[in-house]
Amino acid sequence: MAKAKFGSRIGLIAATVGSAVGLGNVWRFPAETQSNGGAAFLLIYVVCVFILGIPLMLAEFSLGRGSGTDAIGTFKVLRPGTKWWLAGALGVLASYLILTYYMVVAGWTTEYFFQSLTGSLYDGLQPGADAYNKLDSTFHARMENYVCSAWNPLINTFVMIGINIAVLIGGVQKGIERVSTWLMPLLFMLLITFCCVSLSMPGAAKGIDFFLHPDFSRIDGTVIVSALGQAFFSLSLGMGCLITYGSYFPKSTKLVQTALTVSMLDLLVAFLMGLIIFPAIFSFGLDQAELRGSTLVFVTLPEVFSQMPATRLWSTLFFLLLMVAALTSTISMAEISISFLQDRYHRSRKAATLIVLLPLFVLSSVCSLSFGPLADFKIAGMTIFNFLDNISTNYMLPLGALLTSIFIGWFAPKGFFRKELTPSLGKDKPIYGVIEFLVKWIAPPLILIILINSLIANP
């Protein structure tokens, strides 16, 4: 069977941006920015995207396109008979673990979408004089009730798994590419609408100041480590996802331009999210101490919506945006394992999709239940959900990225990387030298420092 490829340039970009833009941008980025001091974090984040993110993205694209096969197969094709395939295996495992818990949060977005649509999220609210405190505790309690209950979150997780199966069975062009080509423009339209609304709010300037005016004294080791982790997560790096998508790129795809487009759009979404969330929150007088990291979008934003006219409309559109972002990312994570089963074990598309996604009905359920009935079951002192998040994002992703950069910088066949990059800009452009230098000499030690830092910070 001929290897599947993306059918058009727009589709290829939409699918790859769809993978990159996800809860990482919409949910994790504002939370990380907020807890790491605002603009200072943003600044370091942008630097990380440029000096590590883009070169590593190019490394993954090249590996996939050059070898024409899945995340594990790539290493077998380029370095047969060695143990390098284990680097790919680490990626496949990491992506599956992340998918397991990401699906649960994706399920929350569907619940919040439906509750906004029906209005039940806002039922019975009576904000009084001290509206914020009351509302904050109301939405907090609502979220906690929901997340910790047994059945409700499971049903939503199942809905998300079902949608994933429906899309993925369609294959690369008719499933992933088609859905992304529809959903990505929708996502950008929603984002821009929200941006206009948020920036026109009376107190927007204070929020913008927090987001864009750096306080350099806030920059320390933790800020740098978090910014780098966030950059990898957000750009879908370190787990073979972009190797897999790269294997669907036709030979004519210009990798440098594609990597720049994808990473700039990903950055833009994160940036727009900051422009949406911080002005909205500051306009409603919530000061910094009251902003809450990971509950920002599920607690603080409903609170903001409840103060705005057309509450349900804005809330429904916002959670639709979140759902779309989550869906295209879960699809890309599942695709890593599906492509592995298709390329290595010659499974049909349908069989591979089911083998990958059906077990999630059990595994993601366990993750979801770890908020409620299984909350006391701890691994290394963490709930199952937190444990998976922690080992995959803090250790497996950086390790995957480290191995990828060492491989492409030092072990891939001579001239391989340059050959994949060349059609992008024509021969002998100094930029190739810069990219190669970053991948070979800068990425490995920097990532290593970050890994060690993670180990020391939370052993």
Rounded to a whole number of angstroms, the minimum distance from the CB of residue 101 to ligand PHE is 12
Collapsed DSSP state (helix, strand, coil) of residue 379: strand
Cβ proximity to ligand PHE: between 106 and 291 the closer is 106
Rounded to a whole number of angstroms, the minimum distance from the CB of residue 100 to ligand PHE is 13
Cβ proximity to ligand PHE: between 25 and 368 the closer is 25
Rounded to a whole number of angstroms, the minimum distance from the CB of residue 307 to ligand PHE is 28
Q: How far is CA 17 from CA 58, 137, 324, 396, in A?
A: 14, 36, 12, 22
- CB 7, CB 173: distance < 8 Å: yes
Collapsed DSSP state (helix, strand, coil) of residue 347: coil
Binding mask 184-223 for ligand PHE (x = CB under 6 A): ----------------------------------------
Binding part of the chain for ligand PHE, among 21-29, 35-43, 283-291, 352-360 by CB under 6 A, reads 21-29
Which residues inside 317-346 make contact with ligand PHE, applying CB under 6 A?
329, 332-333
Binding part of the chain for ligand PHE, among 17-25, 38-46, 68-76, 156-164 by CB under 6 A, reads 17-25
Total residues contacting ligand PHE (rule CB under 6 A)? Answer: 15
* C-alpha–C-alpha distance, residues 311 and 396, integer Å: 40
Which residues inside 217-246 make contact with ligand PHE, applying CB under 6 A?
233-234, 236, 239, 241
Q: Which amino acid is at 346?
A: H
Exposed/middle/buried for residue 104 (C-beta within 10 Å: 0-12, 13-18, 19+): buried
Cβ proximity to ligand PHE: between 233 and 282 the closer is 233
Q: Could you say which of 4, 13, 25, 187 contacts ligand PHE (CB under 6 A)?
A: 25
Helices then strands (H, E): number in the chain? 24, 0
Collapsed DSSP state (helix, strand, coil) of residue 245: helix
311 contact partners, CB below 8 Å, separation of at least 6: 122, 305
* C-alpha–C-alpha distance, residues 358 and 409, integer Å: 37
Q: Could you say which of 18, 24, 274, 302 contacts ligand PHE (CB under 6 A)?
A: 24
Query: Where does this chain bind ligand PHE (CB under 6 A)?
Result: 19-20, 22-25, 95, 233-234, 236, 239, 241, 329, 332-333
